[in-house]
Structure 1
Amino acid sequence: MARIVEGMPGLPAYVMNNRLDTLAANPLGRALYSEMFADSACGANVARFAFFSPAARRFYADWEHMARFAVGALRIEAGRSPYDRELSSLIGELSTRSDAFRVMWGSRDVYVFRESTKRLNHPLVGDLELDQETMSLPDESGLSVVVYSASPGTAAEDGLKLLGGWSATTGQEQDVPLTDRLP
C-alpha cells in the first residue's frame, strides 16, 4: 500500500484506517495535510484534526460537513468493532475534549458522504477544489486509499504543483515517516 501511494508523486494520496488514522502518505499528501501532521495533538488522525485543531476550521471549506462525516465514520466503526480499545479510547478522548464532537455524537446520526469534490483552504496556496476518490480495500483490514486530483488547467492544479515544489524544497516529505504504521 505504501509503495502504491508513494508511486503517485503528482497526486496527494494517503492510506487511512477505519479509526481515521493516516497510516501512510506520499510527499504531496503530507504537504496538503501539513497542518494536521505538524500538530502533535492530532497524531495524524483526521477526527482529532477536525475537532482539536483550530486550523481545521480554516482548512475544510465546509468544516461542519467534514466533522459530521468523521463522527458518522466513527459511529459505523463502533458498530462493527465494539471491542476495539483504540477506537473506544479515541471516541472517549474526542467526547471529553470537544463539545462539538460530543453534541454530534449524541445526536446519533450516521452522516456519511461520498462526494467527489472537496474544497480545502491550504495556508500556502489558498483555496483548492479537488476531486476525491476513496478506495476501500476488499478485505477485513479496514484500510482505504484516499487520492485527490485537480482538473487540468485550474488554479487547484497550479496549487498542487506549488505544494509539490514546496515539499521538495523544504524536505517536508521526510518530516512524517508513517509507512511503518501499516499493518
Structure 2
Amino acid sequence: MDEIPEGRPLDSRAELSEFLRTRRARLQPQDVGLPNFGRHRRVPGLRREELAQLAGVSVAYYTRLEQGNGRNVSAEVLDAIARALRLTDAEHAHLTHLAKPKAHKKKKAVRQQYMRPVLQQLLDSIEGVPAYVVGRRSDILGWNALAAALFGDWGELAPADRNWARICFLDPRSRELFVNWEQKASDIVSYLRMDAGCYPNDPQLSALVGELSVKSEEFRSLWATHDVLEKGHGTKRIRHPLVGELTLSFETLRLPEDCDQSLMMYHAEPDSASAQGLRLLASWGRDASSVGSGTT
C-alpha cells in the first residue's frame, strides 16, 4: 500500500470559532425577528449580542464559545444556539462534535480503514446498478464493475488516490463527467467538514485538506465556507463519454457495523434513456478486467 503523508491535526478551537462565526454571518436581524437599526453594521449578519439574546445566554458566555472555548458548554446551551442560528441537523451535529470532542476520537482517527471481503462479494453480485463503498475522508474502498464503467476504473489508481476529493479537484476529467461539477465539489467538501468535526485528530484528513488547499483554489474557497452536509439520497447527472448524458438517482446506505462506511448505489428510472445507457455500460463493463477493493 502506498504511504499517505500525514499532517498536523486540525485545530478544534479554530474550527469551532470559524463555524459559529460563518453561521452567524449568514443571518440578518430581520431573518430572526429582530429589528435592524441602521444601515451601518460593522459585521455581516447578526452581532454576537443579538445571537446571545436569541439563545438566552450572556454575551460574555457566547463570546467565549465563539472564541473556541467550548470545554464546559452544556448540551442544552448548544441546542439553544443551534436553534438561534437555525442550523440543520447536520450542522447541529457538527457543532456538538466541535464543542464537545470526545477523548476516544484520536484513537479512532488513526485506525486504518478496512472493507470486509464479504462486502466486495456483495458488490460483485449486484448487477445493473453501479455500487461502491465509501469511507472516511471520501475514500473509495470497493466497487463493482458497473461503477468502474460509469465513474472510471479506480483499480488503475494508487490506493491513496482512490478518493473522491482528490478525483474531483485534481482530475480534470471529473469536470466533464459531472454535469453539475460545482455541486459535486461543494458536497464533497461539506462531507469532509463533517469528518473533520468527528475526527479532528486524523492526520490523513489534515494532509488531504492541506494538499487540496495548496493545489486547488476552488477547494480553498469551499473549505472556507465551513458548510457541512449529510445527504442520504439525491440525483446526479453524468456525462459519460461512451453513452452520453445519464440522470441517475442515488441512495446512501449506512453500514452500522462498519465504522463510517456507506454503500452508494445509483439507479435510473425504468425504461428511460438513462436505463438504456446503464445497460450498455453493464455490457461493456463485463469485459473490464479490474474490479477492485483496497484499504487506506
Segment drifting more, 54-63 vs 68-77: 54-63
Shift of 1:48: 0.9
* Structure 2 counterparts to residues 57-136 of structure 1, below 5 A: 57-136=175-254
Unmatched 5+ residue regions in structure 2?
A: 1-118
Q: Which residue identity is paired with 1:181?
A: T
Residue 157 (str. 1) matches residue 157 (str. 2): no
State the structure with more CA Rg: 2
Name the structure, 1 or 2, with higher relative contact order (CA <8 Å, separation 6+): 1
Residue 34 (str. 1) matches residue 149 (str. 2): no
Q: Which residue identity is paired with 2:217?
A: D
TM-score with structure 2 setting the length: 0.56
Change (3 A) 1:88 1:176: farther
Aligned partner of residue 116 in structure 1, secondary structure: strand
Aligned partner of 2:290 in structure 1 is 175
Counterparts of 2:269 and 2:262, CA distance in 1: 23
Counterparts of 1:122 and 1:177, CA distance in 2: 21
Change (3 A) 1:42 1:32: farther
Paired residues in the alignment total: 178
Residue 141 (str. 1) matches residue 255 (str. 2): no
RMSD of aligned residue pairs (Cα, Å): 2.1
Counterparts of 2:122 and 2:179, CA distance in 1: 29
Q: Which has the higher strand share?
A: 1
Shift of 1:39: 6.0
Unmatched 5+ residue regions in structure 1?
A: none
Query: Does structure 2 conserve the Cα–Cα contact (< 8 Å) formed by 1:133 and 1:148?
Result: yes
Query: Does structure 2 conserve the Cα–Cα contact (< 8 Å) formed by 1:120 and 1:129?
Result: yes
Change (3 A) 1:41 1:140: closer
Query: Does structure 2 conserve the Cα–Cα contact (< 8 Å) formed by 1:14 and 1:29?
Result: yes
Counterparts of 1:120 and 1:114, CA distance in 2: 18
For residues 59-83 of structure 1, give each alpha carbon's deviation from its aligned partner in whole angstroms, at most 9, with x where no partner exists: 1111111101000000110110011
Counterparts of 1:30 and 1:98, CA distance in 2: 25
For residues 144-175 of structure 1, give each alpha carbon's deviation from its aligned partner in whole angstroms, at most 9, with x where no partner exists: 00001111111111111111111223xx2x33
Counterparts of 2:290 and 2:258, CA distance in 1: 30
Change (3 A) 1:98 1:40: farther
Aligned sequence identity (%): 37
Query: Does structure 1 conserve the Cα–Cα contact (< 8 Å) formed by 2:233 and 2:252?
Result: no
Change (3 A) 1:83 1:140: farther
